[in-house]
């Protein structure tokens, strides 16, 4: 990784993972990232058919690409062969639980190019599926003040950082899992007409209801 911001995101994600295959997206907070890193961060959702959609994007990304990225396809800001390069690395990150790094340029319509570095790290949704990506884009070559302009990424190389943690069954976050069925302690009761309660019938014993259907 060439940019210190890329290293900062990697260490943030690694600490949040805490030995798991990936942290949950709900564990990623602006407070934890800090103001400077938050401006460069984005989050993607992996959809069916290989689609990758922006769920959020920091203010620095708005300035770099000259538009609001939320809701857009991540591949729409890639140029030519860079789309396949980005999609392939994203899928490897999600499948292997490692961190991916991409470098290249963000090229404006007039041909002006800015060196960039992209980091991709896997996240789990609230339901435990590995279908989110935490990422960051930082500019290289000492670029500081970048005027908002429509740019597309021209990626030149990609690599993997770190090792996958041992895979373990992923549960949904508390509040998203169904409560287990069953009774604890007290025997179940059946309510009948009139508000009275009677014990539930034992297995194999047929209960005689108070109401019967009479054919006239």
Rounded CA separation 119/195 (Å): 64
Query: 116-149 burial, b if ≥16 CB within 10 A, otherwise e?
Result: bbbbbbbbbbeebebbbbbbbbbbeeeeeebeeb
Q: Where are the domains of the chain?
A: 4-161
The architecture CATH gives domain 4-161: 2-Layer Sandwich (3.30)
Per-residue pLDDT tens digits for 140-173: 976 566 777 889 999 998 888 765 555 555 555 5
Q: How confident is the model at residue 6 (pLDDT cuts 50, 70, 90)?
A: very high
Per-residue pLDDT tens digits for 179-210: 444 434 444 444 444 444 445 555 554 544 44
Taking the CA atoms of 109, 111, 112 and 118 in sequence, report the sign of the dihedral they define.
positive
**Predicted structure pTM score:** 0.74
> β-strands 151-161, 132-139: how paired?
unpaired
């Amino acid at each position: 990784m060439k940019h210190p911001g890329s290293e900062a995101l990697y260490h943030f994600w690694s600490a949040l993972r805490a030995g798991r295959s990936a942290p949950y997206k709900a564990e990623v907070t602006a407070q934890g990232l800090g103001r400077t890193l938050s401006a460069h961060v984005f989050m993607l959702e992996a959809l069916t058919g290989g689609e990758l959609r922006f769920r959020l994007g920091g203010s620095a990304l708005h300035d770099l690409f000259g538009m609001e990225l939320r809701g857009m396809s991540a591949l729409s800001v890639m140029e030519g062969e860079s789309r396949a390069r980005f999609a392939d690395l994203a899928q490897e990150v999600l499948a292997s639980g490692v961190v991916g790094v991409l470098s290249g340029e963000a090229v404006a319509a007039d041909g002006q190019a800015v060196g960039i570095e992209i980091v991709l790290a896997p996240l789990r949704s609230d339901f435990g599926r590995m279908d989110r990506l935490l990422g960051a884009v930082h500019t290289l070559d000492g670029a500081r003040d970048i005027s908002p302009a429509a740019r597309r990424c021209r990626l030149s190389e990609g690599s993997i950082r770190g090792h996958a943690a041992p895979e373990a069954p992923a549960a949904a976050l508390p509040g998203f899992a169904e409560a287990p069925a069953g009774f604890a302690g007290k025997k179940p009761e059946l309510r009948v007409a009139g508000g009275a309660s009677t014990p539930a019938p034992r297995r194999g014993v047929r209960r005689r209801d108070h109401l019967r259907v009479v054919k006239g």
